[in-house]
Structure 1
Amino acid sequence: MSLEFQDKVVLITGAGSGIGRATAIKMASLGASLALCDINYDNLSLVSKAIGTVPKHLDDVDIASSQEVSKFIDAVMQKFGHIDHIFNCAGVNPTSYPLEETTDEYWDKLVNTNIKGVYNVTKACIPHLKSGASFVNVSSISGLRGSAQQAIYCATKYAVIGFSKCMALELGPKGIRTNIVAPGYIDTPTNAGIVKGGEAVDRMKNGTALGRLGSPEEVADVVAFLFGEASRYMNGSVVEIDGGIKMTSTTSG
């Protein structure tokens, strides 16, 4: 078994479920030590059991709070002394509303987690990073094309791409890379279509050339690649992980 990330510390937000959980398990299998946070500590505890004796630090963190993020990063540095790779995975999936039916609370919830959270974690980590470090940030296929009744969600995911490309330019001269994954219809517990079930799931499956949903593990494999040496000349790239998505109006994952 390859231990490409032995002696590396990988920080993952939203590590308690879905893509974050799958990536934590993947990186543990590759030898990494893990700094994991999620707003739901019970879920983190289950992930901790799944990855066994791998060196790790767990914390319940609301990434929308710069104070909570700073406290988390300080604790990670105290435990490990360094951070090598950051996976900004935590996010809120959309609920479909016509714009005139959305609320300020809904705007704040999505914007504060999906983009402010990425900003908070990135800003707090940068002073601790050395050449060879990298970020992978989660956008979405909805960060590349619009979806009716998902204007706020799409805005946050477009913003992740713009922010990440700026970081690629800003941090690249320091040898720190920033790349983006844009998942499509992924079978996660918080995917709006999965929650609806039935016909919504069928529409998602039929909306891809491969005729199925993606798994969190398939996204985790790409994240591991983007952290690794094989992707060393990738910086500011957006990698679509969508099974060959068709131009439909199906709710994205």
Structure 2
Amino acid sequence: MTEHDQLTFCNPVIRFPEITPPRQSQPEPGLDAELIPGTDRGEHSYRGTGRLEGRRALITGADSGIGAAVAIAFAREGADIALNYLPEENEDAEHVAGVIESAGRRAVLLPADLADADACRRVVSEAASELGGLDALVNNAGKQVSVPRLEDLSDEEWTTTFDVNITAIFRITQAALEHLGPGSTIVNTTSVQAYEPSPHLVHYASTKAAINAFSKGMAQQLAPRGIRVNAVAPGPIWTPLQVSAGQPQDALPEFGKSTPLGRAGQPTELAPAFVFLTSPESSYVLGETLNVNGGMPTP
């Protein structure tokens, strides 16, 4: 690599391309396979160093976007992965499983809708059974639907968003504690929306603020048991969530350009934060929300 190439690689403004997505839509939950432009989930860019060797991780929402990038990074770092996702997302999930297996790690596919209480507990039980235990949990699955006016936000949309985004985290974490011992970790995906809620995402933003509080409270509760809990707060990251009703279509071409870096983030740019918070390198980090948002100021 030449000196110019090294500088380019290190420059966060141009390391990943600025994108101008065309107006597009997909039915919920959306597929990476149909996203224009495609995302960088780390298939070709993430290089592991063995920081999670032997770990057994359950990752929810692991078929696409941030969850897929985290799953790929964890595998490259030496972990076996149980991937949860909606059954409609099987095409993306099988692609990620193939990348994990090509890294020499095990991939367990666990399709289930986490809005269902029994599904949450079943996914944890099956993950622990298939992996021979569980010592890392990433609660990443999320639902985001843009609704400009509160009068148009249905009770069903409000309730389902809370069921998927925060109630499922409670249920999965509760079930996982049966399997998590000292040295285990939990990392929850929150959002910059917890601090700077968009007017059309008040229900989604409310769940993300709740995840922050849940993470900090659980970090204190579980610290004496040697289980660390933290969170990662992404900014505008280009994923299928944005085109499956997550953003107004007219806003897509400018998505992420208001950040100080001037561009949207790629899912693989989130992965190192999750790796750090899961690895022993962060042994003294608990109750932290690590912001990965392109420079957007947060508390």
Output the TM-score relative to the length of structure 1.
0.91
Q: Bigger shift: 53-62 or 30-39?
A: 53-62
Letter in structure 2 aligned against 1:61: A
Choose from 248, 254, 275 the match for 1:202: 254
How far is the alpha carbon of 1:169 from its aligned partner? Answer: 0.9
1:29 aligns with 2:80: no
Q: 1:41 to 1:112 in 2, by over 3 A?
A: same
Q: 1:3 to 1:197 in 2, by over 3 A?
A: same
* Percent identity between the two aligned chains: 33
- Separation of aligned partners in 2, 1:194 and 1:113: 15
Q: 1:194 to 1:79 in 2, by over 3 A?
A: closer
Equivalent residue number for residue 250 of structure 1: none
8 A Cα contact 1:25 1:51, kept in partner: yes
8 A Cα contact 2:255 2:264, kept in partner: no
- Separation of aligned partners in 1, 2:130 and 2:199: 45
- Separation of aligned partners in 1, 2:168 and 2:109: 17
How far is the alpha carbon of 1:199 from its aligned partner? Answer: 5.0
- Separation of aligned partners in 2, 1:180 and 1:154: 15
8 A Cα contact 1:182 1:241, kept in partner: yes
8 A Cα contact 1:143 1:154, kept in partner: yes
How far is the alpha carbon of 1:181 from its aligned partner? Answer: 0.7
Choose from 129, 153, 156 the match for 1:102: 153
1:185 aligns with 2:232: no
Equivalent residue number for residue 231 of structure 1: 282
How far is the alpha carbon of 1:73 from its aligned partner? Answer: 1.8
Q: 1:103 to 1:196 in 2, by over 3 A?
A: closer
How far is the alpha carbon of 1:47 from its aligned partner? Answer: 1.2
Letter in structure 2 aligned against 1:22: A
How far is the alpha carbon of 1:32 from its aligned partner? Answer: 0.4
Equivalent residue number for residue 251 of structure 1: none
Moved over 3 A (4+): 192-201
How far is the alpha carbon of 1:27 from its aligned partner? Answer: 0.6
The structure whose Rg is larger is 2
Letter in structure 2 aligned against 1:18: G
CA RMSD, Structure 1 to Structure 2 (Å): 1.9
Q: 1:215 to 1:159 in 2, by over 3 A?
A: same
* Long gaps (5+) in structure 1: 248-253
Choose from 67, 77, 84 the match for 2:135: 84
